[in-house]
């Protein structure tokens, strides 16, 4: 297949898209490559229907339409066409799940972009010109081949959402502290062994996702993240939490699933807005009493934690709707469990609870779904 035939096939794929902006890009490339639109009309009836209203429009008219497009999505491409430069007013550009190994420098001309998704490609660098995107709010780079974070990112100080997950980065540099407008930072599954102390400069953060890494501890500077609502730390190697965790007074969800925690700091009880706590697969052995001081907690995961007993204080968690205690060593529950009148789901599978004890628990919680 000749190079021109390859280009025609690619243009045809864009022209058959259901999205107007993608069709417009196909038309633009067809024009710049001097491809014959009439040939498309004669050969493919579907394309004829799509193009019938477009062929009579001048190239200048097409460019006017394209220049006013606000969003564009491309899929399954190997090269990002330079003609994207015509989309000067783009606000959002979705380039996920392509086969890009590089991004053309012309992307720097799209200065109105606020949302750019480059995830699921094969990128390990970004063009210097990406620094021109001074209006960019959200940048997604997950599932690429970055081994270091491109320096160009530190110039994008307007970013509120940054997704770097699933790249072999291993290190987050101190420059992360430059991005003080960040509300969401996703650095899951990047082989990270430590968070930099500069994480404490991101005081606007509401969501921090650091799951599936190799953390053994958290820096004390995490105490500065007083606006944090969700903290995802599952599948790390944490052996303890700093007392400063109690400073995260806005925290609503804390996921510590699959770590090495044997206890929780007393300061956990200061997290009065916490409604979801995930501690599954930690060698706790003893139920952390500090949990009982969380007044709006409605979801607890404590499966596979080697628990032998449940304290009477569990009865103070009257907002609980879901309690997972599966695969522990519990033989009975305290009678105070009956205070959990809103409890809808109780998982006790994999515990050595006798039939007599099971009957008691059912009587105490008549409206709850219980699994033994």
The 3-class SS string of the chain reads CCHHHHHHHHHHHHHCCCCHHHHHHHHHHHHHCCCCHHHHHHHCHHHHHHHCCCCCCCHHHHHHHHHCCCEEECCCCCCCCHHHHHCCCCCEEECCCCCCCCCCHHHHHCCCCCEEECCCCCCCCCCHHHHHCCCCCEEECCCCCCCCCCHHHHHCCCCCEEECCCCCCCCCCHHHHHCCCCCEEECCCCCCCCCCHHHHHCCCCCEEECCCCCCCCCCHHHHHCCCCCEEECCCCCCCCCCHHHHHCCCCCEEECCCCCCCCCCHHHHHCCCCCEEECCCCCCCCCCHHHHHCCCCCEEECCCCCCCCCCHHHHHCCCCCEEECCCCCCCCCCHHHHHCCCCCEEECCCCCCCHHHHHHHHHHCCCCEEEC
The pLDDT score that the predictor gives to residue 40 is 45
The pLDDT score that the predictor gives to residue 267 is 98
**Rounded to two decimals, what is the model's pTM?**
0.84
- Pick from 325, 291, 322: which is nearest to 308 by CA? 325
Sign of torsion over alpha carbons 222, 223, 229, 235: positive
Q: Which residue(s) pair with 142 in the sheet?
A: none
Those residues whose C-beta lies under 8 Å from the C-beta of residue 325, and which sit 6 or more positions away, are 302, 303, 307, 310, 346, 347, 348, 351
State how far the Cα of 235 lies from the Cα of 241, in Å rounded to an integer.
14
The pLDDT score that the predictor gives to residue 53 is 47
Task: Give, to the nearest 10 degrees, the angle between helix 3-15 and helix 20-32.
Answer: 150
CB 118 within 8 A of CB 96: yes
Show the low-confidence residues of the chain (pLDDT under 50). 37-38, 40-64
Task: Give, to the nearest 10 degrees, the angle between helix 20-32 and helix 59-67.
Answer: 140
The pLDDT score that the predictor gives to residue 89 is 87
Residue 34 region by backbone torsions, left for phi larger than 0, else alpha for psi between -120 and 50, else beta: left
Q: 71-169 has which fold?
A: 3.80.10
Contacts 24+ apart (CB under 8 A), 282-285: 282/256, 282/257, 282/258
Q: Within the chain, which residue ranges are assigned CATH 3.80.10.10?
A: 71-169
State how far the Cα of 262 lies from the Cα of 306, in Å rounded to an integer.
10
State how far the Cα of 41 lies from the Cα of 303, in Å rounded to an integer.
62
């Amino acid at each position: 297949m000749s190079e021109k035939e390859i280009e025609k096939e690619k243009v045809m794929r864009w022209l058959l898209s259901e999205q107007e902006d993608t069709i417009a890009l196909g038309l633009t490339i067809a024009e710049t490559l001097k491809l014959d639109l009439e040939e498309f009309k004669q050969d493919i009836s579907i394309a004829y229907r799509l193009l019938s209203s477009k062929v009579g429009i001048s190239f200048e008219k097409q460019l006017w339409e394209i220049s006013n497009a606000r969003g564009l999505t491309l899929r399954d491409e190997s090269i990002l066409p330079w003609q994207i430069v015509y989309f000067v007013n783009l606000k959002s550009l979705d380039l996920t799940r392509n086969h890009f190994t590089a991004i053309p420098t012309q992307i720097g001309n799209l200065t109105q972009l606020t949302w750019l998704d480059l995830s699921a490609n094969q990128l390990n660098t970004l063009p210097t010109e990406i620094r021109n995107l001074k209006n960019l709010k959200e940048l997604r780079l997950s599932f690429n081949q970055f081994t270091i974070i491109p320096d160009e990112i530190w110039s994008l100080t307007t970013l509120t959402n940054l997704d770097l997950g699933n790249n072999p980065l291993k290190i987050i540099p101190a420059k992360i502290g430059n991005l003080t407008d960040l509300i969401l930072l996703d650095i899951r599954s990047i082989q990270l062994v430590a968070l930099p102390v500069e994480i404490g400069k991101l005081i606007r953060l509401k969501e921090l996702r650091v799951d599936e890494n190799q953390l053994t501890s958290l820096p004390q500077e995490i105490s500065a993240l007083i606006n944090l609502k969700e903290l995802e730390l599952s599948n790390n190697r944490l052996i303890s939490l700093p007392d400063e965790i109690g400073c995260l007074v806005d925290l609503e969800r804390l996921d510590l699933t699959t770590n090495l925690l044997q206890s929780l700091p007393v300061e956990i009880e200061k997290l009065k807005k916490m409604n979801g706590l995930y501690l599954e697969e930690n060698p706790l052995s003893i139920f952390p009493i500090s949990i009982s001081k969380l007044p709006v907690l409605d979801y607890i995961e404590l499966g596979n934690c080697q628990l032998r007993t449940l304290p009477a204080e569990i009865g103070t968690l009257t907002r609980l709707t879901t309690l997972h205690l599966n695969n522990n060593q519990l033989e009975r529950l305290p009678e105070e469990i009956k205070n959990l009148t809103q409890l809808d789901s109780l998982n006790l599978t994999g515990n050595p609870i006798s039939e007599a004890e099971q009957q008691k628990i059912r009587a105490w919680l008549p409206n709850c779904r219980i699994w033994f």
